[in-house]
Structure 1
């Protein structure tokens, strides 16, 4: 859901005309829209809390200075990025402002390129905050089919339209998609939006049933049909009559069962194992497979053509990247609600990791990572993924990009240093040998807050 493409507008306030005009000109050359103000009160009067803006303010102004302006702005919009421009003697004041919510500060005379770099980072953070707000609004208002099939990508919107159409015509459907794409959710949506919705939805994973139990599982059996059959059992086909039968991984169904299933679909009748009574059934089959059933030698072509009335092709998660942060946030919220823990917004680093990773396990893998992220307060997406990879030898695991690994290592070093220093920023600066401004930017990027370390130890 990457719908925000417009850059934030920059609100620039400085009571020195030459500084203000040259700074505005530089920023406009970098393709930013800039509004200029010669005093803080004028900017405050113009400000709207929902605007996509970034504020750049000098500190020393009269009658309202930059710190007073920032304080009032953050009361109206707590996530607003405010960049302060300071004189040499204002450094201690600016450092305090960082603790009070300023995005960053630059010392006069500042390098225009450094200002642009800071503005770009603030713009990226603003975009992430706006995306989070849009996702919250979307998740709060989903209804109908979107409650099962979440997403705003073009691909998933097309899937929902297919489901609406196929649900009404009551045909058999083959749902294609890789492991973890949500094939059963699609089957449930097809059932719940059809005239069969008040009847049973019966799901069977064909790969999970031992071959010698398959017939009894599908057809049921009469008492005494075999040694362990002490009483009558109704099979899944009979239970699904009038409703929908979901056959997951149908390519794993034994050949003998394929023949028997085909006969049931042709004649709309079945016999329980050990019985001789013909039982009428009304089945709609929703079958799921990972690969094209028509090209699989172990799958009967006549059964394929009986099932292949309609098809739904689910894209892998990596092909619907706009939905990745939305789904991740949805799963995090679910976990937080169930466990009674506080939801935390993604840091810029976590967001970048989500978008760079390949997600070979698709939505199922994303959900598992989201649950861990929600319940482990100090976790990062990269750390969770690295842990999964260290514990598994699965050949299909997607490697983490080098940039993500480097950032996770840097984050862990800063995190440990802040723990060792119990939140003392000066000690952390000395230990890491970083300028204060650089440490502040990295802490923002990695979602590290000084207050989280003050009581440790």
Structure 2
């Protein structure tokens, strides 16, 4: 029986024929031509076990016991209508050939046929299959980019880079560590990694380690057997096991105890889980996406986080920029969330006034995207746009309009300088101006950039 079929991406031809002598002869012909062949004596279970996007072709006899070639063709094309299927028969009746071609067979070969005929048909089918899969990949890549832009709104360089990194990592099996402040959108990024990956049809399980009590965290993550501890009356499947075949998003990983970190490290290295109170090692096909708002390297240096776990997780880090470093992305996001809220509540559209736009751009957004989304919801509901901006008020300056504008500009830059910025680029993006313009304005107003985030100082 064919229930143990296990095709991989290297197999180019799946050959199915119940005649062992013909099967061996055709296999040798294909093998001598440099093609990787897998042979089967029947078609039982074949259609269900060919992976999506398999780059090969199927060559099958028509008249076989059990599932015949025409039924196999129908089953295969139900899953992938563009998979090339070549059918062969020794009966040579024209109506059967017509039926096979109308059903979507790539070619029809009548026994006996020349080896060159088979090889020519298989090679043409493989070329067609490569073209189909290349076109699918291009369409999927375009769709993924559009989906990412819709999920992660923003045109700042930092957001464009983040989307590029997600696109590059999504199709891999690498575990990912997401770094970002509270409210920056760590779960949105984790979900994008899952949905754009080959695991998209598997489960996505999100769990916040910081929200779990210390007494239940191991049972929640790893599961337990009956009698593992007082009150454990029946088996419980843990989150890791439940996420098998998909992605597990583990937020606030820095809050896990050192004992749990040891078990997580073992799981990451060996891809097995052992329930509490059990002896069986359960293999896992799982991707771990961890997230933290802390500097894990610093936590490891302080003994609060295992250094070996940090290095194991830090292979593919993704940093989500805080909203204050994203310039005018705040306006784009605000309008995006306000429009979504307006449509959801069936309310008329409200236009942002210039003063409100300036307020949004000046705000430091300590709660990041989550805070902005709440503000946009209130605005869409017709409530006042009130933000705790800590923005500088207009200094009391004598003189005309130009003097007062310059004084306000200096106060605004000085206030932004007082916030932590790791680079001039970050500062320029927060102010929404080019770096060269920022240099000119710092010199004009006698201000000094301090990467440490201390208060601005006058130029000497």
TM-score by length of 1: 0.52
| Separation in structure 2 between the aligned mates of residue 350 and residue 245 of structure 1, nearest angstrom | 40
1:144 aligns with 2:150: no
- The equivalent residue for 1:211 is 214
| Separation in structure 2 between the aligned mates of residue 351 and residue 334 of structure 1, nearest angstrom | 18
Give the ranges of 4+ consecutive aligned residues of structure 1 lying more than 6 Å apart after TM superposition: none
- The equivalent residue for 1:380 is 384
| Separation in structure 1 between the aligned mates of residue 345 and residue 236 of structure 2, nearest angstrom | 38
- The equivalent residue for 1:179 is 182
1:340 aligns with 2:343: no
Secondary structure of the residue aligned to 1:318 is: helix
- The equivalent residue for 1:305 is 311
CA deviations on 1:249-298 (whole Å, 9 max, x unpaired) are: 11111111000111111221111122222211122111111232122131
Structure 1 residue corresponding to 2:265, chosen from 262, 267, 281: 262
Q: CA deviation at 1:147?
A: 2.1
Going from structure 1 to structure 2, the CA distance change for 1:260 and 1:380 (only over 3 Å counts) comes to same
CA deviations on 1:26-45 (whole Å, 9 max, x unpaired) are: xxxxxxxxxxxxxxxxxxxx
- Conserved? CA contact 1:357–1:401, under 8 Å: no
Matches within 5 A, 1:87-98: none
| Separation in structure 1 between the aligned mates of residue 393 and residue 230 of structure 2, nearest angstrom | 59
Q: CA deviation at 1:226?
A: 2.6
- The equivalent residue for 1:324 is 330
- The equivalent residue for 1:295 is 298
Secondary structure of the residue aligned to 2:378 is: helix
Structure 2 residue corresponding to 1:246, chosen from 218, 237, 249: 249
- Conserved? CA contact 1:177–1:315, under 8 Å: yes
Q: CA deviation at 1:320?
A: 0.4
- Conserved? CA contact 1:176–1:289, under 8 Å: yes
Structure 1 residue corresponding to 2:364, chosen from 358, 363, 366: 358
| Separation in structure 1 between the aligned mates of residue 220 and residue 337 of structure 2, nearest angstrom | 33
- The equivalent residue for 2:444 is none
Q: CA deviation at 1:168?
A: 1.7
TM-score by length of 2: 0.52
- Conserved? CA contact 1:265–1:283, under 8 Å: no
- Conserved? CA contact 1:356–1:401, under 8 Å: no
Q: CA deviation at 1:221?
A: 1.5
Structure with more of its chain in helix, by fraction: 1
Structure with more contact order per residue of length (Cα contacts < 8 Å, sep ≥ 6): 1
Structure 1 residue corresponding to 2:390, chosen from 394, 399, 404: 399
Matches within 5 A, 1:269-288: 269-288=272-291
Secondary structure of the residue aligned to 2:288 is: strand
- Conserved? CA contact 2:179–2:292, under 8 Å: yes
Matches within 5 A, 1:159-198: 159-198=162-201
Query: Is 145-154 or 204-213 further displaced after alignment?
Result: 145-154
Secondary structure of the residue aligned to 2:275 is: coil
Q: CA deviation at 1:223?
A: 2.8
Q: CA deviation at 1:218?
A: 0.2
| Separation in structure 1 between the aligned mates of residue 163 and residue 270 of structure 2, nearest angstrom | 32
Matches within 5 A, 1:51-200: 143-200=146-203
Q: Which runs of 5+ in 1 are unaligned?
A: 1-141, 387-397, 405-457
- Conserved? CA contact 1:181–1:363, under 8 Å: yes
- The equivalent residue for 2:33 is none
Matches within 5 A, 1:11-90: none
Secondary structure of the residue aligned to 2:184 is: coil
Q: CA deviation at 1:400?
A: 4.1
| Separation in structure 2 between the aligned mates of residue 349 and residue 401 of structure 1, nearest angstrom | 14
Going from structure 1 to structure 2, the CA distance change for 1:338 and 1:403 (only over 3 Å counts) comes to farther
- Conserved? CA contact 2:378–2:384, under 8 Å: no
Q: CA deviation at 1:233?
A: 1.5
RMSD of aligned alpha carbons: 1.9
| Separation in structure 1 between the aligned mates of residue 208 and residue 392 of structure 2, nearest angstrom | 34
| Separation in structure 2 between the aligned mates of residue 238 and residue 350 of structure 1, nearest angstrom | 49
